[in-house]
């Protein structure tokens, strides 16, 4: 219940007005039923009291007008509800996207892609019956039933109270089973998202599954997950049906009790014939909104757990807080970097990724960070970009703690070439312009030339306007890497971080790209994170990491002569190449 409330709190005022408009339409439809019931009761009373047909024409005409008005209102409601739902879904998707941008990659990377995608797409899409039917019906049904019951109470208080009690107990009985339904609904949501995520993994990793003859095994696992999802769906449906059956039984029970009590009062003279007919007609109209609410409730049975899934994402709080409003003035350009006794541990690991990491990079200095896999090299980049915050210690840019910079300003100072190059589905130009949206054609071309990417781009079917495909799959790994380098150069940031900049480039191009990087890093404070030691020999300084801290520092020649970890890594790579 509170998850649904949380979900609706993100809506714009216009959405609330539109939902309120749906409620008003439903109340007007209920009013036409009540007015028709009163007129029919009056007609029956006249016929039974006088036996004539004089004076019946006007009520019959009014009943006809009410029916035509009801048809018009239903048409408007059915036309209006999908538009309200579409607006709400758009607002929810926008809020979900903003939330994902707010929590950042540090938290988002710990969530499965399939889970996020099912929430962003499917869960938001399932909100149609919740927004367009159930929520307006819940408000309109309660108000309509209460108003009809009040009129019945004015005719016969005892009968009216019976009708009101049964009308309110019908939805309350369903709320009583809400915990049972919630447990099964949550299980259904987890099962659905798991099946979605596993199916997405299988589709994206189809080549790997085929290469290891594992597609049959993964297919059987997906079949088992599908069967489990089917069982969870049946359990949820059983819970819904069992809970709603109690509410449905209260409608005929309340109707029979009201009619029986009214007939007894009429027989004893406590109620007139006209009053009895009024009770007969209005009792049915009192329970009609509850019947419509039950249908809406049933239609929204899968939307409610989907709404909870959306609310769970909206409840996420970013672990990295953007508290600064203005950036401190930089005294030097490019600025220096300083890591002081930095400690950090990923929530999913026991061993710290960084444990007392300290490093000072002077303005314009090019420092290479090397070490075995898992030493914590890429974590340095994540902390500098504030994808995470340190558990201890500090990181400073030009003497200022990075928390003093707004996140957007901090990240504008740093150009990044990541180890896992990500290109969006779009053209080469669009992927380059992510770095600087308003860059001129000359600036784009200079960055492309500097990254030695011009030759292969001119060979593409449409050059810079060629669509690279999802994740850039239409390009080779080396081509994607060179576009990533060009993108970082186009940003023209004073600090440059290269995380394995030549990891996907063949040996023939490695020397050329390394020489190019040597040229473009002049005048920039540069941190190069590398496994390939051949790319860092010319760095101003090389630091060697092990177990989250720096264990060696110096030039290539000094570190090789020192016969420490760096010399061991060089010997290992040299032997592997030989």
> What percent helix, strand, coil does the chain show, rounded to 5?
65, 10, 25
User: What does each C-alpha distance from 219 to 113, 206, 479, 544 come to in angstroms?
Assistant: 20, 11, 34, 45
Burial of 232 (0-12, 13-18, 19+ CB in 10 A): buried
Q: Which DSSP string do the residues of 471-498 spell out, in sequence order?
A: GGTTS-HHHHHHHHHHHHHHHT-SEEEE
How far is Cα of residue 500 from the mean position of the Cα atoms in its chain? 31
What's the confidence (pLDDT) of residue 69? 92
pLDDT at 578: 36
CB atoms inside a 10 Å sphere around CB 481: 26
126: nearest Cα among 305, 314, 316: 305
pLDDT for position 577: 44
Phi and psi, residue 113, nearest 5°:
-60, -40
Distance between CA atoms of residues 279 and 159, nearest Å? 8
The two tokens of residue 207 are 């080549």
pLDDT value of position 121 = 67
**The pLDDT of residue 338:** 92
Q: What is the pLDDT of residues 36-92, one digit of tens each?
A: 888 888 888 777 776 556 667 888 888 889 999 999 998 998 888 888 888 777 777
The predicted pLDDT at position 396 comes to 92
> Considering Cα of 259, then 262, then 268, then 271, what sign does the dihedral take?
negative
pTM comes to 0.61
Contact call for residues 251 and 203 (beta carbons, < 8 A): no
Residues of the chain with pLDDT under 50: 1-2, 576-578
pLDDT on residue 108 = 58
Instruction: Go through 341-361 and write b for each residue having 16 or more CB atoms within 10 A of its CB, e for each that does not.
Output: ebbbbeeeeeebbbbebebeb
């Amino acid at each position: 219940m509170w998850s649904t409330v949380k979900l609706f709190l993100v809506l714009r005022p216009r959405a609330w007005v539109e939902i309120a408009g749906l409620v008003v339409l439903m109340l007007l439809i209920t009013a036409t039923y009540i007015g028709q019931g009163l007129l029919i009761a009056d007609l029956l009373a006249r016929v039974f009291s006088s036996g004539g047909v004089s004076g019946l024409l006007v009520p019959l005409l009014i009943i006809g007008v009410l029916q035509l008005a009801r048809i018009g209102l239903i048409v408007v409601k059915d036309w209006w509800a999908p538009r309200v739902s579409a607006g709400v879904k758009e607002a929810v998707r926008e809020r979900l996207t903003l939330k994902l941008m707010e929590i950042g990659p540090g938290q988002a990377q710990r969530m499965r892609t399939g889970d996020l995608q099912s929430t962003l797409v499917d869960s938001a899409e399932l909100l149609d019956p919740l927004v367009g039917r159930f929520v307006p019906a819940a408000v309109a049904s309660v108000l309509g039933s209460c108003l009809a019951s009040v009129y019945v109470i004015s005719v016969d208080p005892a009968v009216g109270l019976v009708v009101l009690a049964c009308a309110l107990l019908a939805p309350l009985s369903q709320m009583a089973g809400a915990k049972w339904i919630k447990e099964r609904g949550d299980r259904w949501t987890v099962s659905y998202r798991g099946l979605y995520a596993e199916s997405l993994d299988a589709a994206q990793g189809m080549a790997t599954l085929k290469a290891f003859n594992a597609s049959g095994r993964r297919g059987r696992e997906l079949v088992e997950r599908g069967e489990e999802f089917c069982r969870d769906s049946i359990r949820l449906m059983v819970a819904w049906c069992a809970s709603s059956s109690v509410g449905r039984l209260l409608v005929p029970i309340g109707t029979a009790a009201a009619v029986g009590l009214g007939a007894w009062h009429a027989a004893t003279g406590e109620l007139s014939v006209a009053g009895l007919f009024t009770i007969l007609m209005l009792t049915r109209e009192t329970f009609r909104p509850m019947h419509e609410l039950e249908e809406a409730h049933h239609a929204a049975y899968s939307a409610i757990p989907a709404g909870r899934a959306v609310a769970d994402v909206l409840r996420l709080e970013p672990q990295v807080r953007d508290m600064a409003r203005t950036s401190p003035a930089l005294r030097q350009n490019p600025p220096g970097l300083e890591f002081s006794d930095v400690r950090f541990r990923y929530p999913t690991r026991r061993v710290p990724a960084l444990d007392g990491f300290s490093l000072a990079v002077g303005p314009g200095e090019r420092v290479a960070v090397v070490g075995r896999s898992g030493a914590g090299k890429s974590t340095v980049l994540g902390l500098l970009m504030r994808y995470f915050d340190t558990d201890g210690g500090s990181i400073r840019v030009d003497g200022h703690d990075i928390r003093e910079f707004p996140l957007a300003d901090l990240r504008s100072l740093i150009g990044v070439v990541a180890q896992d190059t990500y290109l969006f589905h779009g053209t080469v130009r669009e992927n380059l312009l992510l770095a600087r949206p308003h860059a001129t054609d000359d600036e784009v071309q200079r960055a492309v030339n500097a990254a030695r990417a011009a030759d292969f781009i001119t060979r593409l079917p449409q050059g810079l306007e060629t669509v690279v495909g999802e994740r850039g799959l239409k390009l080779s790994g080396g081509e994607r890497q060179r576009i990533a380098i060009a993108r970082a150069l186009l940003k023209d940031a004073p600090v440059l971080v290269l995380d394995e900049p030549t990891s996907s480039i063949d040996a023939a191009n490695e020397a050329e790209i390394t020489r190019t990087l040597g040229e473009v890093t002049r005048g920039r404070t540069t941190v190069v994170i590398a496994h390939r030691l051949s790319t860092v020999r010319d760095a101003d300084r090389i630091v060697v990491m092990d177990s989250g801290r720096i264990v060696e520092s110096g030039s290539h020649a000094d570190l090789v002569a020192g016969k420490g970890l760096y010399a061991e890594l060089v010997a290992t790579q040299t032997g592997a190449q030989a």
